[in-house]
Amino acid sequence: MTIPKRTSKRDLEGIDFSRRPRKQAIEFASEVWQLVRGRRILGAKSRSEHPIRPYTLAFVCFELNRV
């Protein structure tokens, strides 16, 4: 007895359409991080993905009081 393979009924264009904004957001966040990391903004240290409950901040700079 063989188990039949599951077939996906979701259309591939719809999946790509759903993933595109997330991919673009990740690319944007990566570009922003390249700009702010390593004390490149006014010599202030920045952090990436810092938790402040109940959220996780993408970028934070405590020296400049910026989130």
> Is 9 inside any structural domain?
no
> Is 2 inside any structural domain?
no
> Is 47 inside any structural domain?
yes
Per residue in 1-43, pLDDT (tens digit) is: 677 666 566 677 877 888 888 888 889 989 988 988 889 888 8
| Strand, coil or helix: 44 | strand
For tokens 């490149």, the residue is: 40
> Is 22 inside any structural domain?
yes
> Is 54 inside any structural domain?
yes
pTM above 0.85, yes or no: no
> Is 1 inside any structural domain?
no
> Is 32 inside any structural domain?
yes
Number of domains in the chain: 1
> Is 24 inside any structural domain?
yes
Q: Which domain holds residue 56?
A: 14-61
Beta strands in 1-67 (DSSP E): 47-52, 55-60
